[in-house]
Amino acid sequence: MAENKSSGCVVAAIVGVVAVVVGAVLVSTFLYRGAVAGKRMVSAQIEKARSEADRARADATAAQMIELKEGELPDYATYQSGQPLSREMFLAWRSDTNATTLVRETFREKVEGADVTWTLRAGDLRQEGDYITGSFFLPYGLRTTTGYLTSPGVESVRCEFPVRERESLLNIRRDQTATIRGKLSLKSGETVLREARQAGTGVEKE
């Protein structure tokens, strides 16, 4: 009788230990998943804050913006597919508030895949899989015939560099300018330079 009671105690003790171990594993799993989710949330918030800071710094460079003069804007309606596209012509299209939807969409279709070489202000660069993604900015403003500067803005340009360009991008610093070559795409709703690469090896410094 005593032996059976002893065996029961042993079994109960084993069950208790197993229950504690399983509970500890479940708690650890829950805490790990919570930590991962929390880390992702914090990373997203940090990235958002950095992006906003980059844009704020770009806004602060108004003195270095591209000035478009009223009455002297490039006629973007004459652009033909396959031609290189200048920053000035692109910004003339972007800042034209009187253009019809037909004119705007026709230009958008023509410039898809256009070769561009633009000098841009650098934000952040980070590797994402097989690409290095760069946040760049293009400050601009329209000066009237009376000399008044109106409609200042900042065009955000996302540059997608092949990972093989990694070493050539190490000299780029935030708030400096770099001349970037690539193929323009507006399909995603963003201004994107695909197959991007830095033109030359120098980065202009302030």
Residue 86, pLDDT > 90, answer: yes
- Residue 181 CB neighbours (<10 A): 17
What's the confidence (pLDDT) of residue 74? 86
Pairing mode, strands 115-128 and 131-143? antiparallel
3-class secondary-structure state, position 101: helix
What's the confidence (pLDDT) of residue 71? 78
Average pLDDT, the chain: 78
Between 1-10, 106-115, 140-149, the lowest mean confidence (pLDDT) is in: 1-10
Q: What average pLDDT score do residues 90-109 get? A: 92
Residue 153, pLDDT > 70, answer: yes
What's the confidence (pLDDT) of residue 145? 76
Options 2.60.40.1290, 3.40.630.10, 2.40.50.140, 3.90.1490.10; CATH for 64-198 is 2.40.50.140
Q: What average pLDDT score do residues 81-110 get? A: 92
Q: What is the pLDDT of residues 166-196, one digit of tens each?
A: 999 999 999 999 999 999 999 988 999 999 9
Nearest to 136 by CA among 157, 106, 115, 110: 157
Residue 58, pLDDT > 50, answer: no
Contact 125, 172 (CB under 8 A): yes
Contact 172, 153 (CB under 8 A): no
Contact 194, 134 (CB under 8 A): no
What's the confidence (pLDDT) of residue 156? 95
Domain ranges of the chain: 1-59, 64-198
What's the confidence (pLDDT) of residue 204? 40
Residue 113, pLDDT > 90, answer: yes
What's the confidence (pLDDT) of residue 158? 97
Residue 61, pLDDT > 90, answer: no
Q: What is the pLDDT of residues 163-174, one digit of tens each?
A: 999 999 999 999
Residue recorded with tokens 């197959």: 195
